[in-house]
Structure formats: C-alpha cells, structure tokens
Amino acid sequence: MEANEETSSLLRKGTSYGAAASSGAPPPPTSSPPVLRSEKDASGGNLAKKEWGPREGERCVVRFPKALDECLRSFDDPIIAVCQMGQDGTATGALKCAAIGCKMFSRIATFFTAIEIGVSVPLLLYFCGADGEAAWFATLMAVTGAVTQVPKRFIWRSRPFHVNRAVSTLRNATSSFPSRAVACSAIYAYLAAYTIVYPTENALHASLLWLAIAALLVPLASFARINLGVHYPSDCVVGGLVGIVVCAVGTALSWAETQGCSSCRTAKCYAMESAGEEAISWKSLDRVAWGVVAGCAAASLAATVLAVAPPLRFWNKCAHVGGVTLGCLTFHLAFLCKEASANGLRALPPPKAELDALTRVGCLAAALFLSLLLFGVGKIMQSKRVVRFLGSFRFIASAALFAIVYTATFSALAAWRLTVV
C-alpha cells in the first residue's frame, strides 16, 4: 500500500512539474525523481512501473554528462516554455486554439521529417527512371540512418518529458540526443536544392539554394520537436550539425562510386545496342550480374543481423531503412552498372525519353504503394506484441523483415523497369 501511495505521489509531482515548465516557471531541481512509466500487458493491465532509461540488455551506453545538461538548462528551458505555451491545461480562448494548432502542425512536420520519408525517395526516382539522382539519394539515406543512430544508440539523454521539463502525449522511449528529425530536415533541404539545379551542376547555386531552404525547414522542424516535448533545443542544434556532416559524407561516397565507371549522372551507364553493348530484358535475364546480387544480398543480410542481434542492438529500424536503401543500391549495381557485369557491356537500356502522363501517374502510384506497403509491414513486425512474443529473439523478426523489404524492393524495381520504363 505504501509503495502505491509513493508512486501516485511521484506521478502527481510529474504532472505539476510539466505544467510549470510549459508556463515558464522555474524547472524542478535536478534531484527530483524521474517520471515513471507503466508498461501494459496484452490485456491492458498495468505491469510493474520502471524509470525511463536505456533499454534492458543495451550495452556500451554512456549517459549524457549531467554537468553539460545543467550548463545547457539556461538555454533549453526558456525555449521549451515558449514553444509549449498554452499546453499546461489552463489556457483558454485564442491561446488554447493556438496551442492545439501548433501541436497539429508539429505532428505533421514530424511525419514529413521522418527518415522513412527520405528512404522512399530513391524508390520513387528509380520508378520514374531518374537513376543518377536515385543512386545518390539511396547512398545519402543509408549514411543518414547510420550516422544519426550512432549517438542515439550509445549516448543516453532523457527526453524533456522523461524528467518533467516538458509536457508530452508521446511516449518515445529512445534517447533524446540528437534530433534525427532536424538532421533529416537539413538533409531533405540539401536533396531538394541539388535536385532543382541538377541539370546545370552549378555547385554555388545549389549551395545557396540549400541554405535558403534549410533556413526555413530546420527551424520549423526544431519547433515541432520541442513543441511535442520530445527534444531539447540543444538536441535540435546538434541535429542540424549532424545533417550537414551527413550531406558531406554522403556526397563524397556518391562521388567515389562514380569514379572509373559510366555514371548514370551523365546517362552513360545504359547499354547502347547500337554500340555493340548488350541490353538486359525479360528475354535476356542471364545477362544480369547474379553473382553481384547474391554477394550484395548476403553481405547486407549479415550486416543487418549483426546490427540488430544482441549485444549490439543498434537500431530497430535497421531492417526497414537498410532493406530499402540497400535493395535500391543492389538493383543499381546489377542492372545499371556495366562495369559490374561479366563483360562490362551489360545493363538496362536507357529509359524512355518522355513518359506519357498516364505512365508517370502509374510510376508515382506504384512507388507510393510499395513504400506504404513496406512501411506497414515494418510497423507490424516491430509492434510491441510481436517484440514481446519473441522476447530475446526479437532480432529474428528484424532479420525476417529485412529479407522481406530487401527482396520486395529489388524485385519490384527490376520488374517495373523491365516492363514499363
């Protein structure tokens, strides 16, 4: 009975602290107990309550330095209070309506800055025959997933609502540091800018356009995450810097990929039968570099299993993000890279110069359908019930999900390009 009363008291304190933070009042002392969370079983009943923190079984986790957290408090808390104004439950009238509108905007912005959105872009581009941009985007998104997850996996920082410094209806159980959504907003701005100026290859023009787009997207994404109570402003600043690093690393890798080969960026990667090269078609699938496909599939699956299995347990989204990006890159090597073929002359023929309106709509619809399907399968395989059912063997579900997503991505791209584009 005493334990239940103590828990209730802690939860009541957590509520009051959250309201105080959103109204601009001084934050609670750092020695205050963390918010407790309750896990629910399959029937909906509450199980034992536990503190927010690194998940059980995760190793090599370093906690965010308390001294640095305290140093950043004077920067973080006032901005959190402003961004969450009106969320303390006492707001009325226009302020309440504004708070509701801000929360709706924040959820929409969070959706469009999720990494799953960026992962879907290479699919769309390959379906439409924009192979140079697609390969670049796929490489950049693979780097994005890896680079942004390293600090989130190995550095634990409690989210603002974990320690009663913000109000939130979300229940994110992962580390707050840094903000991947803000990093993605900087990366998506970069992709948009360079896509717009891609035909001219004007680096200065693209860089200036990137800065202009990022100056709009990054603050909006930061506001959204702070408004939802899941990130500190300092997380968002670091997230923006991580986004810049990802753009530099991803572009360097993409540039390295095109050295010494017939790059799709210059439309020289396709097989020209008029020049004696061998085009891949449904009737000549033996020209596909199946050895390359098998090698890429084996290496990708092995890397994913190592990433999701104990003791590393790097990222539960490895299966989806890796399955799509690596499936795209495997398709590129097998069907669009003459140098990877047996005689250096085999690849897909050039896509049609101009697709009619109906075909373009079909390309968009097919890519969106495949993206949503893969996203839905990923959500089911990573649901709490499946994870709870598998227990310590949940990495099996991740490995199976990767195999499904990877195979579906590669097969769908090959079939679509051989049939339509």
351 upstream amide cis, omega within 30 of 0: no
Q: Are residue 271 and residue 393 in the same domain, yes or no?
A: yes
Least confident range from 246-255, 373-382, 398-407, 408-417: namely: 373-382
Q: Are residue 213 and residue 326 in the same domain, yes or no?
A: no
Q: Are residue 270 and residue 376 in the same domain, yes or no?
A: yes
Quick check: is 113 in a domain? yes
* pLDDT tens, residue by residue, 117-131: 888 888 888 888 888
Among 257, 285, 307, which residue terminates a domain? 257
Q: Are residue 336 and residue 383 in the same domain, yes or no?
A: yes
Q: Which structural domain range is residue 211 located in?
A: 59-73+96-162+172-257
Q: Are residue 180 and residue 208 in the same domain, yes or no?
A: yes
Q: Are residue 299 and residue 224 in the same domain, yes or no?
A: no
How far apart are the C-alpha atoms of 169 and 250, rounded to whole Å? 35
pLDDT band at 191; cut points 50, 70, 90: confident
Q: Are residue 218 and residue 365 in the same domain, yes or no?
A: no
Quick check: is 298 in a domain? yes
Q: Are residue 241 and residue 339 in the same domain, yes or no?
A: no
Question: Structural domain tally of the chain?
Answer: 2
Q: Are residue 202 and residue 270 in the same domain, yes or no?
A: no
Quick check: is 179 in a domain? yes
pLDDT band at 38; cut points 50, 70, 90: very low
Which secondary-structure segment (H or E) carries 39? strand 36-40
pLDDT of amino acid 259: 66
Quick check: is 39 in a domain? no
Q: Are residue 136 and residue 152 in the same domain, yes or no?
A: yes
pLDDT band at 325; cut points 50, 70, 90: very high
Quick check: is 379 in a domain? yes
Among 236, 257, 278, which residue terminates a domain? 257
Quick check: is 40 in a domain? no
Among 224, 257, 290, which residue terminates a domain? 257
User: Could you give phi then psi for residue 35, rounded to 5 degrees?
Assistant: -60, 140
Q: Are residue 203 and residue 333 in the same domain, yes or no?
A: no
Quick check: is 101 in a domain? yes
Indicate the pTM of the whole model: 0.80
133: which residues sit within 8 A by CB, 6+ positions away?
A: 125, 195, 198
What's at 420, amino acid-wise?
A: V
Q: Are residue 141 and residue 251 in the same domain, yes or no?
A: yes
Quick check: is 11 in a domain? no
